[in-house]
Amino acid sequence: MIFYKIKRGELYSTGGSWPSWVERGKTWMRMRDLRAHLRTVRLPSHRTQHYEGAEVVTLETVQIDAVPVMEVLQDVRAVSAANRAKEVEVSKRQRAEWLRKELEKTQAELARLT
């Protein structure tokens, strides 16, 4: 898959009527969409100054791997189960801590009254 970005130095344009420069920037999937963007900033000239020294870069995605969806779903389920178990454990610890503090408050109040 081919896509396009506008790059100046190490930064990429955010697109829009008043583009700025960021690490990731806007991605145009079609050259005609990028051209449409450039038409929006061509006038007045102070907006085109954003693009002085910039270049249109053409990038291509490369497939690295293919994994069956069912394998990923199994991983998601396993991670979800593990996260739920962690959440329960954290919740138990937080409740135990809260109960301990409440007991200390009650004991202090009782000691003050006796």
- Which phi and psi angles does 50 have, rounded to 5°? -60, -30
At 43 the pLDDT is 63
Among 20-24, 30-34, 44-48, 77-81, the range scoring the smallest mean pLDDT is 44-48
pLDDT exceeds 80 at position 45: no
Q: Three-state SS string across the chain, please?
A: CEEEEEEECCEEECCCCCCCEECCCCCECCHHHHHHHHHHHCCCHHHHHHHCCCEEEEEECCCCCCCCHHHHHHHHHHHHHHHHHHHHHHHHHHHHHHHHHHHHHHHHHHHHHC
Overall average pLDDT of the 57-81 stretch = 86
**Could you state, in order of their start, the residue ranges of all structural domains in the chain?**
2-60, 65-114
pTM exceeding 0.75 = no
The share of the chain scoring above pLDDT 70, in percent, equals 95
